[in-house]
Amino acid sequence: MYLHVQRLINDIVADEPDPAAANALQEGLGGQFGEMRTMMQYLFQSINFRGPAGKPYRDLLQGIGTEEISHVELIGTTIARLLDGSPRYNGKKTDPLDTPGAGGRTPLDLALGVGNIHHYLVAAQGALPVDAAGNPWSGSYVYNSGNLVLDLLYNLMLESTGRLQKCRIYEMTDNKTARSTISYLIVRDQAHENAYAKALETLGVDWGKVLPIPTTNAEKFPEVKKLVDLGLQSKQYTFDLEGASEAGRIFQGTSPSNDGTELDATEQAPAGVPSTIARERYEEFSPGLDPDLLALIQATADLEMADAADPLFAPTRNA
Amino acid sequence: MYLHVQRLINDIVADEPDPAAANALQEGLGGQFGEMRTMMQYLFQSINFRGPAGKPYRDLLQGIGTEEISHVELIGTTIARLLDGSPRYNGKKTDPLDTPGAGGRTPLDLALGVGNIHHYLVAAQGALPVDAAGNPWSGSYVYNSGNLVLDLLYNLMLESTGRLQKCRIYEMTDNKTARSTISYLIVRDQAHENAYAKALETLGVDWGKVLPIPTTNAEKFPEVKKLVDLGLQSKQYTFDLEGASEAGRIFQGTSPSNDGTELDATEQAPAGVPSTIARERYEEFSPGLDPDLLALIQATADLEMADAADPLFAPTRNA
Amino acid sequence: MYLHVQRLINDIVADEPDPAAANALQEGLGGQFGEMRTMMQYLFQSINFRGPAGKPYRDLLQGIGTEEISHVELIGTTIARLLDGSPRYNGKKTDPLDTPGAGGRTPLDLALGVGNIHHYLVAAQGALPVDAAGNPWSGSYVYNSGNLVLDLLYNLMLESTGRLQKCRIYEMTDNKTARSTISYLIVRDQAHENAYAKALETLGVDWGKVLPIPTTNAEKFPEVKKLVDLGLQSKQYTFDLEGASEAGRIFQGTSPSNDGTELDATEQAPAGVPSTIARERYEEFSPGLDPDLLALIQATADLEMADAADPLFAPTRNA
Amino acid sequence: MYLHVQRLINDIVADEPDPAAANALQEGLGGQFGEMRTMMQYLFQSINFRGPAGKPYRDLLQGIGTEEISHVELIGTTIARLLDGSPRYNGKKTDPLDTPGAGGRTPLDLALGVGNIHHYLVAAQGALPVDAAGNPWSGSYVYNSGNLVLDLLYNLMLESTGRLQKCRIYEMTDNKTARSTISYLIVRDQAHENAYAKALETLGVDWGKVLPIPTTNAEKFPEVKKLVDLGLQSKQYTFDLEGASEAGRIFQGTSPSNDGTELDATEQAPAGVPSTIARERYEEFSPGLDPDLLALIQATADLEMADAADPLFAPTRNA
Amino acid sequence: MYLHVQRLINDIVADEPDPAAANALQEGLGGQFGEMRTMMQYLFQSINFRGPAGKPYRDLLQGIGTEEISHVELIGTTIARLLDGSPRYNGKKTDPLDTPGAGGRTPLDLALGVGNIHHYLVAAQGALPVDAAGNPWSGSYVYNSGNLVLDLLYNLMLESTGRLQKCRIYEMTDNKTARSTISYLIVRDQAHENAYAKALETLGVDWGKVLPIPTTNAEKFPEVKKLVDLGLQSKQYTFDLEGASEAGRIFQGTSPSNDGTELDATEQAPAGVPSTIARERYEEFSPGLDPDLLALIQATADLEMADAADPLFAPTRNA
Amino acid sequence: MYLHVQRLINDIVADEPDPAAANALQEGLGGQFGEMRTMMQYLFQSINFRGPAGKPYRDLLQGIGTEEISHVELIGTTIARLLDGSPRYNGKKTDPLDTPGAGGRTPLDLALGVGNIHHYLVAAQGALPVDAAGNPWSGSYVYNSGNLVLDLLYNLMLESTGRLQKCRIYEMTDNKTARSTISYLIVRDQAHENAYAKALETLGVDWGKVLPIPTTNAEKFPEVKKLVDLGLQSKQYTFDLEGASEAGRIFQGTSPSNDGTELDATEQAPAGVPSTIARERYEEFSPGLDPDLLALIQATADLEMADAADPLFAPTRNA
C-alpha cells in the first residue's frame, strides 16, 4: 500500500519556458529508459517476486520502485513548468485571441515549430506519457523474467542507460529548470545503478572498474558535481513507513562505483520541498477554474453550504 | 512524494490456481479501463493541474491516484496467485523435467491451452502489464485535457466503465481468489465514481437517477453486497501523510449513487493486510533464490561479512 | 457528402450463435485486408486524388469506397449476431447471476474459452475494430502513394487478398450466418478486383489468365456459386445519388476474370434488406434500455412532454 | 447502406499553402478525438446497438455517424489543399529536378523542415490517417461499452474534447483555408455535444450551466461567431434518405448549451458545395495522369473503343 | 555484404504437425527476445559501431549477427513444418471443400481452436513475424546505446533471456520437431552468452559463478545434453568469407560458463544440411504452383522458350 | 545459411554531415517500403515457400532477399555518416561540455531542432530501425499470402513504391552522401521491380508500357543515369555461394522496363568496397572505446595474455 505527502522529492530551479527542452525531457519521463519505465518495472518485479529467502532483494526493488513514482512526479512537473508561458502572462499581446487578417500573432503558433505539438494541442502545456519522439509509453517495455540474476542485470543496464541518456539531455540545453532536475536524476540513477551492482556483488560478480556507466564526464557537469560531493549517489532511502525493509542488508559496504564512498540505506526519505499548483492558461481553454466557472461554483457553494462552518473555497495554501 | 508500507490494501481469499481467470483479471490491471490506467491518468492530472483555487479538486485526484497504485499491487498479486501452481508442488509428477518419448506430461504444457501463453513463457507465472487480449498497456490511454470539467467527466466515465467490466469478469469465473479482489474493486470503483460525480455536482450538474452505472445487479453479487453493506462505496481515504488534503471539501454530503449514504473522507488509509512473498517456481527456471544460488550467497556472505553483527539472511518475516 | 438508408446491403441468414466464427470474421472487418481497410483506403484515395482528367478513376474509387462502408455495416452486424446468445434467453439457467460456491455455471464463462475475450468483456457481445488475432485496426494500413498505377495495382492485390482470406474463413466454419455474409463478400471482392484489373487494362496491362486470384475453387462453395450465377461479380454500383459518376467509362466491356461476362455499372445501388435492432443482453449490464431505465425515461417523458402530440416512445418499426 | 453525392458538406476558403497548418489539422482528422474516431465510434455503436425500444437513440448515433464521414472528407480535402504547392507551379524554379552541386534548390526540401515529412515522402502532398504527432489512427480508440448511458456520456466528452482541440488549432494558425474548416467543425461539434447532452437529459440528467465545454471564448472567433449566429450549433441533419430516422424525438426542445435556441432535426442534409479534383504534382512522381500516361491511355482508348459512342476521356466537369 | 547457401544451419527432426507448439516457437522467432531481435540488434550495433581500436568487438557482434539470420531461417522453417498438415494429405477426407449442412468437417476449422488463427487465415500454414501472443515484431526492441559496455551487458542479458524462454518452451511440448530446433538454439544462445560475458571479462568484469543463466537444469534435457557434450556452447563461427574477422581475439580462453571448456572461434561456419521446399497446401488456396497454374506456365514456356536449351521447369533438386 | 564479407555493397560518397537528410533516409531503411521491409518479406516468403516445382521463383525471392540485407547495411551506414559530426571534431569549441550560464553552446543542442531527436538522444548519432516520422519498424508490414501470384504482385508494387519514395528523397536533399546511396538503391529497386514483373510475365501477364513505375524522370537524376547507363537495373546477382540458384530461369530475356536491355542473372555478387569503422563520439558518452577504457583493456590484456603470441589490440585494418 502506498501513501503520499504534498511535496516534490527535489527542488526545481526557476528559469524561462523552453518547449524544446521540455520535449527532450519527455525521454526521461515516458521513454523506454525513463522514470515511468523504472517505476512500473520495479513495481511488477516486487509484485511477482518469488522466494521468501530473497526478501532483502524484494525490498530493494520495492524501495527503488517507490522512489521512481516521485521521480515521475518530479520530471512531469519540470516539463509542465518548461511549457508554461503564454501571451496573456508574458505581456506580448493584450488580446489572447487574435483577429484573423489583422496581422495579430496567433496565441499558440509556437506549437507548430518546436518539440511536440501535442504539448499544446492535447496536453494544455502539460507533461505527456510519451517519449521525446512522441511514442506513447508501452507496457511491452517492462522486463520481469522471474529470474533474479537476470532481473538485476537488466535493472543495472536500465539505470545506466537512463543515466547515459540524461547526460546527453544535459548537453542539449542550458535551461536551468531542465538542468536542475536532469542533474538530480543523473545522480539518483547512479545510486540505483550502485544498488543493483551491489546486489549482483552479493551473488559473486566483481565489477572491476567498469562502473559507473558511463564511466566519465558526468561529474564535470557543475550541478551534478555538487550533488555527488554530497554523496547522493551512495544513498538509498527505504520509503518504508514501518521500518520493515531489509534492503540495507544489500545496500551497504563499499560503493561499486569506485569513488571510495560507503553505501548507506539508513534514511527513510528525503525532506522534499512543498509542491505548488500552476497558474491557469486561458489560451488553452483549460484553466483549472476560469473566472466564470469559479463564480458559478461559489454561487453553488453559497446555496448548498450556507450552514457549513468550513467554506468550500477559502484561500488555500497554494493561493 | 510517495511512501509505502509492506501491506496489501485488501485481503485475497485463497482458492485453486486458475489461469483462465488470471487472464480475465488482466483487463482490470493492464486494460484500457484498468488500474494502471486510472493510476497514471490521475497522477498526470495531478501533476499538470492548473489553478490554485481548485486545490480541493487536485487533492481529490491525487488521493484517488495514490489509491490506484495500491490497486495495481492488489490485482497484480491476485493474478500471480491465480497462476501459481506447478507439478513439483502439486505432487502430480516427481520429475519436473520429462523424458521425451517416455510419455511424461510436459511441465508447462498447460500454457498452450488457456489464457495468455506469456504468463508462462515470459512472466514466470506472474502478472503482466497487458490486457486480457494481450495488448500491452499504452500511454495513449491517458486522458488529461487540461479542462477540469472534461477531466472530471472522463474520470466518471472511466470508473464506471471499469466497474462495468469487473461486473462482467465476476460473471466469468467463480474462483474465490479472483472474486474477492474483483468484488473489492467493484465497490472502490463506485466510491471513485461517486467522487467524480460529486465534484461535477459542485459545478452545477444534477445526475438524477442515472448513477451508479451500471445501475443494477452488482449488489446481487454476495461478496459485493457485503462490502456495500459496510458503506465502502461511500468512503474515500486521503492517503495523505500530513493532513494537507482538501478533498473532503468535495467528497461530503449525500451520495450521488442514490443509496441514501453520506460521503466520508475523514480517514487517512485502510489498515490493509500483511503482504507475503510467493514460493519459488523451479519449472520456470526462475526461483527468487534457488538452492544453489542460496548456497552461493551464503558462502559469499560468510566471507564478506564474517564480522557483521547482522547476518545477511537471517529468517525474515516471510520465511 | 454521404447519406444512408436504414437497410443492410445484403441479407444475413439466421443460425446458432458461434463465438469462434465471430472471431474469424473479425479479420474481414478489422484485419489488414478487411472492410475497414478498403473503406478507408479508397476514401483517402478519393480525397487526395490528383488530375481532373482522371475523373473516371476517381469516381471508380469513390463508388467502391462507398460500398465498403455498407460492407463494414454488414460484417459488423453479422459478427454481433454470431455473438448473440446468453443463459437468460436460451433457457439454460433461470438465474443469470450465479451463487458462488453453489455450483452454478457463471453466465459469461464461455468468454474464457474461445475466440476473443474482449467480445464479452469489452464489447458486450458486439463487433470490435480489431482483426482475428485481436490487433486493433491501424491507420498505417492505408496505402495511397499518389501514383495512380501503383494505387490501382495495390487495390487489385488488396481485393484479391481479402477474397483469399475470406475463402479460408469459409473453410473454417459451416455456420450459415457466417457463410451467408462471407460468400456475399467473396463475390463482391471479385467485382472490385475486376474493377481495378479493368482500370489497369485501360492503361495497357493484359492480365492473361491469372485472374481472378485465387484462380480456382471458390465457385465450388455453394453459396458463392449461387451469387456468381447471378453475375454479381461483374456488377458495380455507383452509390451516387446524382448520377455524376463516370466510373462506367472504365467498368465496362469483357470481364478480366475470364468468365465470359460483361461488366456493368449502370445501377445506382442494390435494394438491400431492412435492418433491425438486436435484443438486450442483461448479463452484460448493457441493455439498450433496461426495464428500470425505460420506466425512468417514460416518467421523464410524461413530465417533460405532457403536451407533445408525438409521444417519445411510441412503438417503433423495430419493436 | 450508404450513398454519396459529389459535394463537400461545407465550402473551403482559398489561401496560401501552409504545411505546418496542414499538420495541425491532422489532429482533427486522425487524432484520438478527430473525425475518423467519431465516424468509426458512432458507426460501431449503431451496428452493435441493443434494444428496439431505444431506436431514437440508435438513429441519433447513426445520423451523427453519417455526418462524420462527410467531415472526414472535408478535413482531409482541406489538409490536401494546405499541402498543395510546388516549385513547378509557383514559378520559383523552371527545372523541377535540380542538378546536384549546381546550387539549385531541391524541389521537396521543404519537407525536411516543418510538420510531418510523410506528407511529402509518403502521401504526395495529401492527407494521412494519422494525428498531428504522426501516430497512426488506431482501432483501440473506439469506445462502445454496450451500456447506453456510458456511451452517451463518452460521446458528449468526445465531442467536447474535439471542439476544445479545434479551438486550440484555431489559435495556432491564421491561414484562412485552415480556419474555414476548423470553424465549421467547432460549430458542428457543439451541435453533436448538444445532441448527446440532450439524450442524457431524457434520462434525467440536468446539466446546469456547464455546457458547452469549453464554456467560453469560441464565439470570439469571427468565423465561428458567424456560424453560431446562423444557429448551426442547434441543428442536426438526419442524412436519412427514407425519412425513417426517429432522432428528432430526442433532438428537440431547448438547447442544453444555454444559448436560448431551440434544437431542430427536421432537415435531411445541408446543400453542400461541388467538389473538385486537385491538380497534378509532377515533383511527387504522382500525377493522377501525367502527360505520357494520358497519351498512352488515349492511344489505348482509340484502339479499344473505336466504335464506342461515349469517348473515355471527354472533357469532364472537373476539367 | 551478405551471401548465402541453400542449407539450413541445423537439421530438423521429423514429427507430427503441432499448431500449438508452432505458436509457442513464435516467441523464439518474433518475440522480444527471439531470433529476429538478436539478428537486427547485432546488425545495427555492427553498422553503428564506433572506434577502430575496438574492431575485435565489432567483428564479434557481426559474426553473431550473421549467425542469427540463419537462426531466423531455421526456426521459421521449423514453425512452417509444425503447421503443415491438411485433410487432403492426411486422408481424413476426400473432398477438401465441405458441403454446408451435410455434416462434413470444415477443412480449416482447427484454426479456430489452438494457437494463432493467423497461421491459417493469413500465413497459409507458415511462420509469422510475431510473438507467441500475436504481437508483431517491433523496431523498438532494438537496443544500441552506442556505449560498448552497455551494449555488451544488454546482449548478455538478451541471450540469457532468450535461452531462459526456450527452456520454458522445451517444457511446453514434447514434439520432436519443436524440440530439435529449440535444443539447438538453447545451446547456441549459451555460446553467444559466453561471447558477451568473455567480452566483458576483457574489460575487467569477473562473473564468479553466476553463469550460465539460468544456471541449472538445461543439461537435463537429453537433446540439449547431447549438443553440450559436443562442446557446441563453447564454439563461435566467424561466418566471414575472407578471414578478416578478429573476433577470435576475444572469444578464446576459459569459458565463463564454468564448465571447464575452452572457447574456440577458429571455424568459419558449420556444414549445415540441405534445405527442401515444402509441399503445396490446396486448402489454403496457396499452392506454390497449383496444377492449373503449372499447366499455364508450361504452355507459356513452350511458346516463349521453344528454342531455349535449358527448359524452364526441368526437375529440380527439390522435386 | 548466411555468410558475409567485411565490405559494403556500394561506395558512399563523402560530404558534410546532414541530420535532416539522415532522417529522410530513415524511410528507406525502416519505413513501410524500406530495406528492412523487403529483406524480411523476402526472407519469410523464402522460408514459407510451397511447391518444389516453383524452385526458380523461390530462388529469385531468396537471392533478392539476401541482397536486401546488404542494402540495410548500406543505408544504415549512410545514415550514420550523415549524423556524424560534433563540436570536438569540427573545431567549433574546445570544451565539449559547456559551463551553464557561461554562454557556451551546448554540444548536442542541434538535436532539438531538426529530424529525429532520438538520433542523438538514443542512437548516439547512428541509424535507427524507424521510419522518417519516427515510427518503429513493425512485423505487421511483412506480406506473405502463400499465394504465389499475389506475393509477386505485392513485391512488384513494393519495389516500385520504394523506388518512388527514394525519388522523392532525392528531391529533398542535394547532400552527396545521401544521394550516392539513394541513387544506387533507386536503380537496384528497378532491377527487383523487373524481376517480379518478369516472374509475372512467365505466368502470362503482359505489362504493356506501364513499367517501370514511376515511368519517368528518375533517369534525369545524374547519379541515377550513370548507373542506368551501366545497365545495373537489368542485372540480378544470386548471392548464392554454391551455384544452386535457378533464378536465372526467370530473370532472363527482354527487360519489362521497355529500355531495350536484356536481363542478366549470371553474376554471383558485386565486388563491393571495404567497410570502415567510424570514429568515436565523446559527446555522446559512447565511444567504441574511450581512452580510459582502452587503457584499462590494455592493462587487463597485459595481465591475462602475457604469454599470448597474438596481442589483443594490435593495429587493425581500420586503424
Q: How many CB pairs below 8 A link D and F?
A: 84
Q: Is D308 part of any domain?
A: no
Instruction: Give the DSSP letter of residue C65.
Output: H
Q: Which residues between 30 and 49 in chain A have a beta carbon less than 8 angstroms from any beta carbon of chain F?
A: 31-32
Q: What is the pTM of this model?
A: 0.92
**Mean pLDDT for the stretch of residues F157-177:** 94
Residue E197 has pLDDT above 80, yes or no: yes
Q: Cα B178–B184–B186 angle (5° rounding)?
A: 95
State phi, psi for B254 to the nearest 5 degrees: -70, 140
Gyration radius of chain C's alpha carbons: 22
CB < 8 Å to B207, chain D: 204-205
User: Phi and psi dihedrals of F241, rounded to 5?
Assistant: -75, -15
* Residue D21 maps to a domain: yes
Residue B292 — pLDDT band, cuts 50, 70, 90? Answer: low
Q: Judge B/C contact: 3 or more CB pairs < 8 A.
A: yes
- F 152-171 near D (Cβ less than 8 A): 164-165, 167-169, 171
The C-alpha angle with vertex C213 and arms to C209 and C214, in degrees rounded to 5, equals: 110
Number of domains observed in the structure of chain E: 1
Distance (Å) of CA F226 to CA E267, F184, F213, F220, F222? 41, 10, 19, 10, 6
Residue B217 sits at φ, ψ, to 5 deg, of: 85, -40
Residue keyed to cell 536484356:
F262
Report which of residues B282 and B68 the model is more confident about: B68
Which of A104-108, B250-254, C275-279, F269-273 is the least confident region?
A: A104-108
In a domain, C84, yes or no: yes
Q: Is residue A45 part of a domain?
A: yes
**Which triple of cell numbers denotes residue F160?**
516500385
Q: How far is CA D77 from the centre of its chain?
A: 7
pLDDT value at residue B306: 47
Given a contact cutoff of 8 angstroms between Cβ atoms, the answer to whether F238 and F191 are in contact is no
D window 53-112, beta carbon within 8 A of C: 53-59, 62, 66, 69-70, 72-73, 76-77, 80
Residue D310, min C-alpha distance to chain C (Å): 8
Average pLDDT over residues C252-258: 94
- What cell numbers appear for B8 in the block? 496489501
Burial D165-192 (b: 16+ CB within 10 A, else e): bbbbbbbbbbbbbbbbbbbbbbbbbbbb
Q: Which of A261, A272, A270 is nearest to A238 (CA)?
A: A270
Optimal mutation site among B37, B57, B142, B145, interface D, most CBs of chain D within 10 A: B145
Cα pseudo-dihedral B171, B173, B175, B181, rounded to 10: -50
Could you tell me the CA-to-CA distances from B48 to A313, B58, B117, D157 in Å, in that order?
A: 20, 10, 38, 19
E strand map for B81-169? none
**Mind telling me how many Å the CA of A54 is from chain B's nearest CA?**
6
Length of chain E in residues, anyone? 319
Residue E283 has a pLDDT of 73
Domain with C270, as residue range(s), is: 7-288
Provide the pairing of β-strand B273-274 with A253-254.
unpaired
pLDDT band of A298, cuts 50, 70, 90:
low
**Residue A307 covered by a domain:** no
Decide if B153 and D149 are in contact by the 8 Å CB cutoff.
no
The answer to whether the beta carbons of residues E4 and F62 sit under 8 Å apart is yes
CB contact at 8 A, E236 and E61: no
Q: Give one DSSP letter per residue of E64-110, joined into a string.
A: HHHHHHHHHHHHHHHHHHHH---HHHHTS-S-SS--TTTTPPPTTGG
Q: Which stretch of A292-306, C208-222, D76-90, E210-224 has the lowest confidence by average pLDDT? A: A292-306
pLDDT in tens, B25-45: 999 999 999 999 999 999 999
CATH code, A111: 1.20.1260.10
**F24/D106 Cβ within 8 A:** no
- Find out whether E159 is annotated in a ligand binding site: yes
Q: Nearest-CA neighbor of C74 among C162, C159, C178? A: C178
Task: Judge contact between C63 and C239, C-beta under 8 A.
Answer: yes
d(CA D166, CA D173): 11
> Could you tell me if residue A313 is inside a domain?
no
For F32, name the nearest residue in chain C, comparing CA atoms only: C140
User: Looking at the predicted complex, does its ipTM rise above 0.95?
Assistant: no
Q: Say what the pLDDT of residue C214 is.
A: 85
Q: Report H helices in chain A.
A: 19-30, 35-47, 55-83, 87-90, 118-121, 148-170, 176-202, 222-229, 291-304
* Residue E152: closest C-alpha in chain A: A157
Give residue B102's pLDDT band: very low, low, confident or very high (50, 70, 90).
very low
Q: Are C219 and E287 in contact (CB under 8 A)?
A: no
Chain E interface, best mutation among A153, A171, A190, A193, by max E CB count within 10 A = A153
Could you give the percent of chain E with pLDDT greater than 90? 69
pLDDT of E295-311, one tens digit each? 766 665 555 544 444 44
**pLDDT (tens digit, 9 = 90+) per residue, B236-267?**
999 999 999 999 999 999 999 989 999 999 99
Residues of A within 8 A of D223 (CB-CB) are 100
Side chain identity, residue D55: K
Residue D279 grid coordinates:
491538380
Q: Which of C1, C146, C202 sits opposite D70 (nearest CB)?
A: C1
Instruction: Answer yes or no: is E102 within a domain.
Output: yes
Q: Does residue A133 sit at the E interface (CB-CB below 8 Å)?
A: no
Judged by a CB distance cut-off of 8 A, whether residue E146 touches chain F is yes
- Residues of chain F contacting C212 with CB distance shorter than 8 Å: none
Determine which of A100-114, D146-160, E144-158 has the lowest per-residue pLDDT on average. Answer: A100-114
Start-to-end CA span in chain A (Å) = 31
B289: nearest CB among A54, A246, A285? A54
For residue C55, give the nearest of D313, D126, D305 by alpha carbon.
D313
> What SS3 string covers C109-162?
HHHHCCCCCHHHHCCCCCCCCECCCCCECEHHHCCCCCCHHHHHHHHHHHHHHH
Positions of chain D with pLDDT under 50: 87-103, 305-319
Q: E84's torsion region: left (phi>0), alpha (psi -120 to 50) or beta?
A: beta
E218 within domain boundaries: yes
CB C234 within 8 A of CB C191: yes
Please judge whether F253 and E140 are an interchain contact, meaning their C-beta atoms are less than 8 angstroms apart: no
| Helix or strand holding residue C195 (H, E) | helix C176-202
Beta bridge partners of A253: A263
**Residue D244 forms contact with F (CB below 8 Å):** no
Give the position of cell 593495429.
F315
Cα gap E292→C314, rounded to integer Å: 61
Q: Does E50 touch chain A (CB under 8 A)?
A: no
> Is it the case that residue C318 has pLDDT exceeding 50?
no
More confident residue, D173 or C273: C273
Chains that touch D (3 or more CB pairs under 8 A): A, B, C, F
Strand partners, F4: E2, E240
Q: Please tell me the least confidently modeled range out of C51-55, C124-128, E72-76.
A: C51-55
Cell 438486450 -> residue: C280
The minimum CA-CA distance between E130 and chain C, rounded to whole Å, is 11
Structure confidence by residue, pLDDT tens digits, F5-53: 999 999 999 998 889 999 999 999 999 999 999 999 999 999 999 988 8
Within 8 A of A81 by CB-CB distance, chain B residues are none
CB-neighbour burial class of residue C262 (10 A; exposed 0-12, middle 13-18, buried 19+): exposed
pLDDT, averaged across chain F: 86
Task: Cell numbers for C138, please give them.
Answer: 491501424
Q: Which residue has the higher pLDDT, B53 or A163?
A: A163
